[in-house]
Amino acid sequence: HHFAPTWLNFFFLASEGVPANRIHVVGNTIVDVVQRFKHRIGESNVMERFDLEGSRPFILLTAHRPENVDYRENLECLVEILSLLRDVTVVFPVHPRTRRRLEEFNLIRRLEELPKLRLVEPLPYFDFLRLLAEAALVLTDSGGVQEEAAILGRLTLTLRNTTPRWETVLAGINFLVGIRNPKLVAEASRFILSRKELRARATGASKLFGDGRAGERIAGLLLKLKAEGELEYPSPPMPEFPWRRFLHQS
């Protein structure tokens, strides 16, 4: 049995030969988490700590994928993007892997010289979600962040040429821009920051991954399947094994 977050996942599974009666569209459990802890997100004081209240609109950036940060040429493209956005407030929680590469390639100083760039340490989950909810735009190479941005109604530019979250692309709230064309990324960022009506589209797509009841549906289906005997699997035969010798050696 397969618990699919979206109907697109359903069609992918069906195209691979999974019987339709074994695919259940339930929503994404991340939506459950975000909705369950909305109060914790709202209670975060991260906006005040980073003095962002007067710096809107701002961009939230994350970058950690090996293909983007482990290669000097690609990481230099990321630095160039930020240089082109030097007059825009950008908050960049720096992944440890990314920081190591920035230091190794002698690029960290170029970032530290940008007046509106906030280089910060990786953030606790609720602090990060508060920034995500307040950002006017998200730049990321993370599949999970693309997902959370959609749930919180944010537009995303993905610094990759593909994505595991095609729902967001089809909904017109996530754009695959890659990392190798800094000018394109910077121009797209400026365009989105200046268009409130475009950002409103993302707010309307916040239910893309479900309504926050995925866990409830999964539990209900599991109980139903168990009651119907669907989850009763016989134990495999015990293999021959020199138990005594194994225990003695241990």
Per-residue pLDDT of the chain (250 residues; tens, 9 = 90+): 999 999 999 999 999 999 999 999 999 999 999 999 999 999 999 999 999 988 889 999 999 999 999 999 999 999 999 999 999 999 999 999 999 999 999 999 999 999 999 999 999 999 999 999 999 999 999 999 999 999 999 999 999 999 999 999 999 999 999 999 999 999 999 999 998 888 888 887 888 999 999 999 999 999 999 999 887 766 667 666 565 565 555 5
User: How much is the pLDDT for 214?
Assistant: 97
User: How much is the pLDDT for 236?
Assistant: 67
Q: Which residues of 202-216 are buried (b: 16+ CB within 10 A; e: fewer)?
A: beebbebbbebebbe
| Helices marked H in the chain | 7-15, 29-36, 38-43, 46-49, 66-69, 72-84, 96-104, 108-112, 125-134, 143-151, 166-170, 182-193, 196-204, 214-227, 243-249
Measured distance between the N- and C-terminal CA atoms of the chain, rounded to whole angstroms:
39
Q: Hey, which residues are catalytic here?
A: 64
pTM here is 0.89
Q: How many degrees, rounded to 5, is the angle at CA 64 between CA 62 and CA 66?
A: 150
Asked if 134 contacts 53 with a C-beta cutoff of 8 angstroms, the reply is no
**Tokens at residue 209, please?**
């991954």
Asked if 141 contacts 160 with a C-beta cutoff of 8 angstroms, the reply is yes
Which sign does the torsion angle of CA 167, 169, 173, 178 carry?
A: positive
Residue 1 to residue 117: CA distance in whole angstroms: 47
Residue 221 to residue 109: CA distance in whole angstroms: 54
